Chain A
């Protein structure tokens, strides 16, 4: 391998090196004085010194800013070296592009690899160097660190020799069945293993390995949603059954959608994303996924492939949708967690956060899809299991919302090549993490290549519009096994696994079948259109290969390798054979006394503290790294206001540039309430998502919602109990607000086993995402105050409940259990009234009251608009005796703060007459937020100071 080193000219600042130096200091190593970085390229092929020099000079190094050398630079200075090389077989997108570019220059190069080199100056010992490599620079899962110049050998992957393995299970006893499941990482329980055993006893033969793997994958929690489809036996604390719920999801979430029966719902819970009407020609679809376990092990790769994966869901919905927006919601451990409190086997929350943000950024931005909405939550219980939710909205013609695989259609795999990446991803995500997972499951981590996906998308939309295929789906969890298995469910399929294009030789047939390599889609193509579709893909350098056909005489799934039958599965057994389990559920409301916080005369300090607390504070440093405006449809951005840095309630975008119609996107989540009262917590999440929709001008009657449940291990009855509570709230909430669920996903087993055997379970976390369609983007409003002299109203009722509030959190108190109950009926009436007032042009700005309550909402509206605000809190609607601290900071649902021009205040008040509405104050030009309680000042602060507190805690530290 020829080695080329490229480095910045020494006189230029190197921001990447500066960031590394800062992070090294965070590790407690202060003796490193300076860091230099270099990019390394390794070329295999017949190249002369002059050729290499040309490649380096014209392609690899920037003539203005960089220098290069063709030898290794060891021994040039006194610096200590760390080189980070990808492990063999790990996807390297830069290498792939570089290879193509060198070929464009006319050189014959066989292979390219890349690496990064760091040189540390100062007193850095070998063990410190090892710490820096391990904690900061190299991820063991995918990378190797070397402490001197290293040139990788040219890879000579061994050829694969076909041997068909049978696994003898017919004679196994229960213990042996369980051992088999565990040894092969199948994550199948005893009942399921017995079911498979019984099936093969009837067939009179032993299963082949690929068959067992297919069952494990199709029946995994990730793909089969066993928990949500189970029958639930709810018991009380004495073990008596108090309720039986057949098929939990059918009884709750699906039932609500069926009952609402909205005519504008086109396809719900059937396809890869839920589809609703947009206009007469177009539909929009929305899917939100999680990628938690991979992000825990490799935050950058895990989050990147998370967003890459969810983008393929709309691409594989109906006949294929074009993605127009992404959303992302993250839950991390505390960013300031002391190193010594970090359990063994997990990465520090700060490192996870940086990696996840960068992973979503690099994939989403490269795809050219705006990331428009999101949230970040911090809680100690996410230390072992960070949560990464990614969503994608797509647009597709209404005439293409359905697909049908036809007998004889060619199976065409399009996009990326297949490698060993992500083997066992679906089953892995169905288990708990332990401190040993880092080494055991490195194969489950995948690296994405966004440009492969972008090329695939470009050509798929062309072939869709030319009518060149009958059906499409994405290769997600479970890879080809899942995609072909689902598409061929009704008519069977015959697949020739040796025809699947591979990244490198040596994969066995079952690895090809199960691989979760990224950026692949599967199409069903009529035989007479195969030549044409392959031509279109090739014309834009997208790989597409026929690997078999749909339809077999016995409707079986038949797998071949170089003509030899290697697997044969009965589709009916595969899809319907999974025994539906019964799960025990137990729910007890935790008994905890609600703490009291002593009343004080002035809450200014407390307000500043809450504004700066991690969940409330500005997420600008993340948002700015995402392109939220690409595609040009942005109407309400994630950052708004007079200086473009205030918080927005929801995103609005126009996916069809020539039309005024728009999509509104928002989310709601409150993990702080999940442990206290999962039922109310779920209602709060729904209410918050819908409030956010309404705030910017969304239409409640044309709003659909999505659920994403992230829970602990639901084989434990208490976790199952809280899941049932939340599912019931989803049913009640959807009906109460008239908003159907159209799609959902669950990620269970988010628990972490520490070295000492302690279990850390995440708090029950339900993300509700909402999507609304509106006719005229020009009528939207934003949350920033617009003009001094305008009148301000509070809508919705406040009570004295402070359980789970950020006020208690900032006060350093244990949280109580008095979660404010959601009045869904009252809340819906208020939402509808606000919506109509906005549509009729009565509202100048609108913001919902959520984390931090009225005080935080008022501060955000004021500093976003660069205007002052005077409020009297005794005028806000309240039930019971509500002290000032609750009026300021309670987090009741169903509340809004609305700015109305003085001329229209009377009309607005008249419209709200029957509702909980109070005229609480005025917009001022004083530049101060001034809040009184019966005339006594309780908050008095310059808006600039409030803004500084809000912007302070997370921003600026992260670069």
Chain B
């Protein structure tokens, strides 16, 4: 049976369609569902194994990127999502989705909670001070995350203004490193000034994963900026979704 996924929509979310498509390519039965429907009826999550927070500008990124969406999670959906994680299911946040996970507390510690959310880590403005769309290289690390194995080398696009990963202290960073929660780092060129070149992290279980680059934008060879040169052999982003599907099938 195909694993089931929900791609969560909200006002200003805008990568939901291609995320749904990427999930379906990787073998998921994926549907796009509005946040309000899940708030009204948390049981919608019951027979779903993966919840994706896609990219976009939820609520215009007003106040700060992902903040208002995260505020809704904290105040209206914390319990069902904390249960979702506790049940061994997967959460993926890409770009704005990553920002929502960080600002609601689902990352880095796997729990949405008003008091502790956003206290230890954040995603701030790029050093350049502006939005940037470009392709970057990533290297994966750690053995914990179910979405990416250690030692992967990937090329993916970034498209964000607030992607600079920052921790509140060196101790927090060390804790993340020691816990193998740092999943992907920018390789070569750090596009936004992130601490320790961090591009994506997971929670202590390895089942909640957020990253700034967009895996759903590289699931077909023709999406790579230099595909016409004839040397692109693999659509790197698809791997993230395939790994998730494989994990769910095996567990």
**A and B physically associate:** yes
Residues of A within 8 A of B135 (CB): 644
**B131 interface residue per 8 A CB criterion:** yes
Q: Is B62 an interface residue (CB 8 A)?
A: yes
The contact string, 1 if C-beta is below 8 Å from chain B, for chain A 636-664, is: 11011110100000000010011000000
**Minimal beta-carbon separation of B162 from chain A (angstroms):** 10
Binary per-residue interface labels of chain A (778-792) against chain B in the complex, 1 for a CB within 8 Å, 0 otherwise: 101110101000000
Identify which of A165-173, A360-368, A679-687, A805-813 touches chain B: A360-368
Within 8 A of A (CB), among B85-123: 114, 117-122
Question: Do residues B222 and A101 form an inter-chain contact, with CB atoms below 8 A?
Answer: no
Counting CB contacts under 8 A, is A143 at the interface?
no
Q: With CB as the reference atom, state the residue of chain B lying closest to A92.
A: B62
Q: Chain A's nearest CB lies how many Å from the CB of B192?
A: 11
Minimum C-beta distance from A644 to chain B (A): 4
Query: Would you give the 0/1 interface string for B47-59, flagging 1 where the beta carbon is closer than 8 Å to chain A?
Result: 0000000011101
Q: Is A94 an interface residue (CB 8 A)?
A: yes
Enumerate A348-364 residues with CB–CB distance to B below 8 Å.
361
List chain B residues, Cβ under 8 A from A657: 17-18, 21, 220
Determine how close the nearest CB of chain B comes to the CB of A112; give it in whole angstroms: 10
Known A13-B127, A97-B60, A105-B75: A624·B122 in contact at CB below 8 Å: no
Question: Taking the complex as formed, is A934 at the interface, i.e. its CB lies under 8 A from any CB of chain B?
Answer: no
**Is B152 in contact with chain A by the CB < 8 A criterion?**
no
- State which residues 215-274 of A face B: CB under 8 Å: none
Residue of B nearest to A640 (CB): B225
Which stretch (A54-62, A156-164, A282-290, A544-552) binds chain B? A54-62
B125 and A15 contact, CB distance less than 8 A: yes
Residue of A104, A451, A458, A631 touching B57 (CB-CB under 8 A): A451
Interchain CA distance A623-B133 in the complex, whole Å: 8
B204 cross-chain contacts in A, Cβ below 8 A:
none
Q: Type the 1/0 row for B1-29, where 1 means its CB is closer than 8 Å to any CB of A.
A: 00000000101111101100110000000
B71 touches A104 (CB 8 A): yes
The residues of B that contact A540 with a CB separation of less than 8 Å are 11, 34, 36
Q: Is the CB of B134 within 8 A of A15?
A: no
Contact of A97 among B68, B124, B126, B129 (CB under 8 A): B68
Contact B225 A104 (CB under 8 A): no
**Which residue of chain B has the shortest Cβ distance to A697 in the bound complex?**
B228
B212 interface residue per 8 A CB criterion? no
**B233 proximal to A (CB < 8 A):** no
Docked complex: A583-642 residues within 8 A CB-CB of B: 623-637, 639-642
Q: Which residues of A contact B21 (CB under 8 A)?
A: 632, 657-658
Contact B167 A64 (CB under 8 A): yes
In the complex the two chains form, is B11's CB within 8 Å of A65's CB? no
Given A63-B119, A101-B68, A632-B223, residue A624 in contact with residue B14 (CB < 8 A): no
**B71 and A101 contact, CB distance less than 8 A:** yes
Of the residues B68, B121, B125, B228, contact of A100 by C-beta under 8 Å: B68
Interface 1/0 per residue, A735-775 and B, CB below 8 Å: 00000000000000000000000000000000000000000
Main secondary structure of the interface of B (DSSP, over half): mixed
Known A100-B68, A101-B59; contact A781-B11, beta-carbon cutoff 8 A: no
B159 is an interface residue with CB less than 8 A from chain A: yes
* Per-residue interface assignment for chain B, residues 180 to 218, with 1 indicating a CB less than 8 Å from any chain A CB and 0 otherwise: 000000000000000000000000000000000010110
Q: What A residues does B159 contact at CB under 8 A?
A: 365, 627, 629-630
Is B251's beta carbon under 8 Å from chain A?
no
- Expressed in whole angstroms, the minimum distance between the Cβ of B29 and any Cβ of chain A is 15
Contact call A97/B228, Cβ cutoff below 8 A: no
Q: Is B132 an interface residue (CB 8 A)?
A: yes
Question: Is the Cβ of B226 less than 8 Å from the Cβ of A630?
Answer: no
Pair A640/B226 contact, Cβ less than 8 Å: yes
* B119 partner residues in chain A, CB cutoff 8 A: 63-64
Bound together, the chains give a CA A98 to CA B57 distance in angstroms of: 14
Does B163 belong to the interface (CB within 8 Å)? no
With A64-B121, A784-B229 already in contact, 6 other A-B pairs whose C-beta atoms are closer than 8 Å:
A62-B118, A63-B118, A63-B122, A98-B68, A104-B72, A366-B60
Measured between alpha carbons, how far is A576 from B230 in the docked complex, in Å?
A: 58
Q: Are B131 and A786 in contact (CB under 8 A)?
A: no
Assess whether A343 is interfacial by the CB under 8 Å rule.
Answer: no
B223 touches A624 (CB 8 A): no
